[in-house]
Structure 1
């Protein structure tokens, strides 16, 4: 939500600064007559309503400038899209996409699986893997899900060396296999 607000503020700030820059350039090049500039400054100093409006706009621009300055200087916390391990030889970084691909590969080897999606979450106990799948309906669901869980857990632990805390399998749908009966006349 904060990023959306910052983007909107940056857009408005850019538009206002662009307009102010265009007016300053036009006044400097003489495209705006000196009398207009003189009248505008007089209006700012003498007309209370115009002065208050100009002060409000200036304060808003100042606050937006401060906000953007703070955002640009402040350190942002980078969410880790990888899992880091330290070994005697150095650091190892395995991306979440790699672990997801390994889980999908292991699960897709099971007979009866038609469509797969995986979501990986890192916990203190290890990796939590959630698989969403569509099955063919010809294999017993308890046996199929258990086979998928065992295959994914062992494959990921073997390849990455990371403990897998849980493998959850969500059966989203059952699709019927296309069986065509030939008709003999």
Structure 2
């Protein structure tokens, strides 16, 4: 919800700055004639102050967003040992999963996603196969390799490995030329 609100505020801010810039350019180049009397001057001054205050508050909000550390964007798995704390990033576990799945012969173009659950890691693998090996055999091998490799390297229990075979890899056919 906060991200949607921030995007909406950024849109309003950008739109307001754009309109004010166009108005300022038109007034300073005298492309639009402008003359006011004293009663309009007070109203214009009040509106200008209100617009400036809103734009200032939006600027403060965007400044705060730009400098704060977003902990949600750097997910990690924390473990406590007798010697201290260990943090392993989700990106590291994704790379370990990629490495393990890519070792299986017949598996190509692997992508992984990691979900952290209470019972352990849930790893989702998306891959292409060569089409020359049994898909159930390949997927079982990928599941076993990823499960064992991630648990062995990180020490974090893997509760679930899901393999989605997206398609077959089309091997390039080379036509021989017969003369």
What TM-score results when the alignment is normalised by the length of structure 2?
A: 0.72
Structure showing greater Rg: 1
Q: Does the CA contact (< 8 Å) of 1:9 and 1:64 recur in 2?
A: no
Question: Offset at 1:154?
Answer: 1.0
Where structure 1 has 5 or more consecutive residues not aligned to the other structure, the ranges are 21-38
Question: Offset at 1:159?
Answer: 0.5
What TM-score results when the alignment is normalised by the length of structure 1?
A: 0.70
Q: Which of residues 129, 138, 151 is equivalent to 1:144?
A: 138
Residues 59-78 of structure 1: pairs in structure 2 closer than 5 A? 59-69=50-60, 72=63, 78=71
Count the aligned residue pairs. 163
Q: Does the CA contact (< 8 Å) of 1:121 and 1:127 recur in 2?
A: yes
- 3-state SS of paired residue (1:137): coil
Mapped pair 1:161 → 2:155: yes
Residues 76-91 of structure 1: pairs in structure 2 closer than 5 A? 78-79=71-72, 80-91=74-85
Mapped pair 1:128 → 2:128: no
- 3-state SS of paired residue (2:156): coil
Where structure 2 has 5 or more consecutive residues not aligned to the other structure, the ranges are 25-34
